[in-house]
């Protein structure tokens, strides 16, 4: 069964999710908290923290990763750039 195009993440979305997941993984490594304590800080479950720690975040939504990063004290920001020519955006 094929997924509808609207449910397939765009490369930019994947890159944003990967960056957030990587930052959260770095935070976990530096925080020196147990997974249970980290879960409390992040407002999620220990199982989710384990998934982040092991890089298994492909099923995490972008908005969830943003919320978790903010709860970790990180400051997620979005930066938009305008393509050099209008046709570049369609490629």
The domain covering 9-75 belongs, at the CATH homologous superfamily level, to: lambda repressor-like DNA-binding domains (1.10.260.40)
Domain ranges of the chain: 9-75
Residue 2: CB atoms within 10 A of its CB come to 6
Q: Whole-structure pTM over 0.85, yes or no?
A: no
Q: What tens digit of pLDDT does each residue of 58-74 get?
A: 899 999 999 999 999 99
pLDDT in tens, 5-37: 666 778 888 899 999 999 999 999 999 999 999
CA pair distance 74, 87, nearest whole angstrom: 35
């Amino acid at each position: 069964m094929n997924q509808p195009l609207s449910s397939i993440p765009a490369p930019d979305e994947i890159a944003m999710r990967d960056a957030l997941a990587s930052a959260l993984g770095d935070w976990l490594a530096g925080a020196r908290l147990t997974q249970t304590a980290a879960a409390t800080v992040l407002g999620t479950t220990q199982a989710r923290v384990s998934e982040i720690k092991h890089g298994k975040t492909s099923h995490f939504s972008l908005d969830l990763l943003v919320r978790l990063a903010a709860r970790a004290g990180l400051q997620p920001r979005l930066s938009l750039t305008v393509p050099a020519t209008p046709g570049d955006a369609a490629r």
